[in-house]
A and B are shown apart, each in its own frame.
Chain A
Amino acid sequence: MEYSKELLRDLYEKLLQIRMSEEKLVEIYALGKVPGHIHCGVGEEAPYAGTFAAAKEGDWFKVTHRPVSATRLAGVSFRRIYAEILGKEAGTSGARGGVNHICELDKGLMGTAGSLGCDMAVSVGAGISAQYLGDGRIVYTYYGDGTSSRGTLHESLNLAAVWKLPVLFVCTDNQYAISTHESETIPVENPGADRASAYNIPARVVDGTDVLAVYEAAKELTDYVREGNGPAILETKCYRWRGHFEGDQAKYRDEKVAQEMREKCCVRNLEKYMLDHQIMAKEEMDDVEAGVEAELLDALEFAEAAPEPRVEDIFQNLYVE
């Protein structure tokens, strides 16, 4: 498959936006700057980069708590994201929601539920709107292997399938639900794809460290969903590089295995591809990296200087007029 340089550069930038932001969050969390928890998503960038690259402007996205930096791919600025994470009024939710509830509707970014999986049905609702309004939008909704055990996911898949709603379910299988390995709680090998036959919908399983493989499958399933055939499941195989949240030493797993999994790095994989195919030189990649770094530093500076919400505004927006 031939890829344009423009596409590859875009995928590379998307990967770096998530990777570098997630690393930045770990860094500032350690400095005590984050009021909430950081569920670092390093190692799980490709499922987002590959699917967002296959999406069209106007599509809806329901992301998860890991990696929250994926919200950047919907077009939300790092300034707004970091202001929210640092608890400031300038954040996407004025710091009422926080790190796990980054949302910007005019960018297509729907809210995220605190109880995993409850937002799967919410994203199916966006599919109801898209189908009814006939505006050609589709919905990308993300969940993990852990969430695949929630009943609400079953209800959501069932409803989406029977009403043929335009929803692409993207399952990121990172093997762990906090400390519990999926082999203890999930009776199938592929927590996303192996359930698809129950709803009579198509599914693909791809290497979630290969952004091009994710992109290819996402494109194929996106076309299928956008043509009005109903939902589909894209499962991506990854590994959660760090603990469930910062502070989790992840002593429940074999560090040797973890290290082997970290060798399968989606960023390095794409860099190697681009170098091997002489698409981008090291210097050009450095430029992309420098651009992301500059945006992150600017966002951090902005967020740190931004004002806190005022206590007298605490009841604001409880109801709209």
Chain B
Amino acid sequence: MRVTYAQALGDAMKEEMRRDDKIIIYGEDVAQHGGIFGVTRGIYDEFGPGRIRNAPISETAIVGSAVGAAMTGLRPCVELMYADFMLVAFNELFHCCGKWRYIHGPEYKLPLVVRCAMGYSFGAGPEHSNCFESLFMHAPGLTIISPSSVYDAKGLLKSAIRSDNPVLFFEHKQLYKVRADIPNEEYTVPIGEAKVVREGTDVTIIAVSLMVTRALEAAENLGKQGISAEVIDPRTLVPFDWETVRRSVRKTHRVVIVEESNLRNGIGAELAAVIQEELFDELDGPVKRVAALDVPLPYNLTLEAYAIPSTETVVNAVKTLF
């Protein structure tokens, strides 16, 4: 069937809700309205107010109560609307979600998913555009998922809902309308497995979420210039699939990491550090990072586009390694 990324996410929730009546959904404007990005559209009509509810503008209480509901028998899948609003519930995400599972032992399960929409979207401005995976990668105990394709969005959300660990699920706003053919039959995508989205031999480009698209465009362009780029989408940032990256780096000996969040202390900083520690002898050059400029993302469209990695900046970063 041909569906959008947003529909695929909605279908994932509906399928799981039909399978397990312990799954409930709440968040701001998610019920009758179907969410401001339309992801939960149709769920209220099928499942009614007992299973999906509009919450007050109370991100702290949304996340905190999801932790409490998860430890007492339900499997909440809550929506925070914008990833930016996660900071309102930072304590609940970093401490309660991240740590309580660990400190309270194996019988203490926290089957909850916090979904949010992230990424720049043409003038959303500095407080409605952030990609925050790297902030939460610092917190032990969380599972962090950032799908870049329609297929992965559905399969990973289903796995996230079935997980007994707390999951932060980052959806990209510009991907919501992307359409693709996905299987009619049910499937899941395992948490913690990266995907080689394009095979190549000369350089490994690790790209996250929307940046996978940029990386693929860059790879096409580089191919015309005689550089064969392999593109890896980690899909899950924590736990991270190091084996797929190691295998690729041993083949290509060059690495470029592309992300949409700020450069400083970003995803690329962590990945580059681990790659140089573990695979130093395999590298033919420094691990390059391509990320947003270290400024609050401006509202102005020209400035916004300038701050975010483009296909061209990815191409240029790769070429410095040759």
Q: Do residues A159 and B102 form an inter-chain contact, with CB atoms below 8 A?
A: no
Report Cα–Cα, A158/B92, bound state, in Å. Answer: 17
A142-167 interface with B by 8 A CB criterion: 151-152, 155-156, 158-159, 162-163
B64 touches A126 (CB 8 A): no
A132 CA to B20 CA, complexed, in Å:
14
CB <8 Å contact, A103 and B104? yes
Min CB–CB distance B79 → chain A (angstroms): 15
Q: Is the CB of A319 within 8 A of B61?
A: no
Q: Tell me whether A125 and B67 are in contact in the complex, defined as CB-CB below 8 angstroms, given that A158-B58, A159-B56, A159-B61 are known contacts.
A: yes
Query: Which B221-235 residues sit within 8 Å CB-CB of chain A?
Result: none
Stretch at the interface among A2-10, A42-50, A116-124, A270-278: A116-124
B56–A93 touching, CB < 8 Å: no
Bound complex: CA A118 to CA B90 (Å): 10
Cβ of B26 to closest chain A Cβ, rounded Å: 8
Q: B189 CB to closest chain A CB, in angstroms?
A: 18
Q: Is B140's CB within 8 Å of the partner chain A?
A: yes
Once the chains are docked, how many angstroms separate the CA of A154 from the CA of B125? 29
A305 close to B (CB within 8 Å): no
Q: Number of contacts between A and B (CB, 8 Å)?
A: 141
Question: B263 at interface (Cβ–Cβ under 8 A)?
Answer: no
Bound Cα distance from A111 to B105, whole angstroms: 12
Can you show 25 pairs from A to B with CB atoms below 8 A apart? A96-B103, A97-B104, A103-B108, A105-B72, A105-B108, A110-B71, A111-B100, A118-B60, A121-B67, A122-B71, A122-B92, A124-B65, A125-B66, A125-B72, A125-B76, A128-B74, A128-B76, A129-B73, A132-B24, A132-B50, A133-B74, A151-B60, A155-B61, A159-B65, A320-B165
Given contacts A121-B92, A156-B61, contact A319 B68 (CB under 8 A): no
Report yes or no: A152 in contact with B60, Cβ–Cβ below 8 A.
yes
Tell me, in angstroms, the Cα distance from A119 to B92 when the chains sit together.
Answer: 8
Interface pair A155/B67, CB less than 8 Å apart: no
Contact call B74/A113, Cβ cutoff below 8 A: no
Chain B stretch 21-71: residues in CB contact (< 8 A) with chain A: 24, 50, 53, 55-56, 58, 60-71
Q: Which residue of B lies closest to A91 (CB)?
A: B105
Q: How far is the CB of A101 from chain B (nearest CB, A)?
A: 6
Instruction: Assess whether B276 is interfacial by the CB under 8 Å rule.
Output: no
**Per a CB cutoff under 8 Å, which of A97, A105, A111, A155 touches B56?**
A155
Given contact pairs A111-B104, A119-B96, A129-B74, A162 touches B56 in the complex (Cβ within 8 A): yes
Mask of B96-128 contacts with A, CB within 8 angstroms, 1/0: 100011111111110000000000000000000
Give chain A nearest CB distance to B202 CB in angstroms. 36
Question: CB-CB contacts of B138-171 with A at 8 A, as 1s and 0s?
Answer: 0011010000000000000000000011000000
Alpha-carbon distance between A80 and B141 when the two chains are bound, in angstroms: 24
Q: Provided the pairs A103-B108, A111-B104, A128-B69 are in contact, do residues A155 and B96 lie with their beta carbons within 8 angstroms?
A: no
The interface residues of chain A lying within 8 Å CB-to-CB of B58 are 155, 158-159
**B91 contacts the other chain (Cβ, under 8 Å)?**
yes
In the complex, A278→B65 CA distance in Å?
47
List the B side residues contacting A151 at CB < 8 Å. Answer: 60
| Residue in chain B with minimal CB distance to A156 | B61
Q: Is A259 part of the contact surface with B, judged by Cβ < 8 Å? A: no
- Is B68 a contact partner of A115 (Cβ separation < 8 A)? no
Query: Is B195 an interface position by the 8 A CB rule?
Result: no
- Do A122 and B56 touch (CB < 8 A)? no
Kindly state whether residue B239 has any CB partner on chain A within 8 Å.
yes
The yes or no answer to B198 lying at the interface (CB within 8 A) is no
B96 touches A113 (CB 8 A): yes
Q: Is A198 an interface residue (CB 8 A)?
A: no
Residue in contact with A318 in the complex, picked from B69, B96, B141, CB distance below 8 Å: B141
- Contacts of B56 on A, CB cut-off 8 Å? 155, 158-159, 162
B102 / chain A contacts, CB cutoff of 8 Å:
96, 317-318
- The chain B residue with its CB closest to the CB of A129 is B72
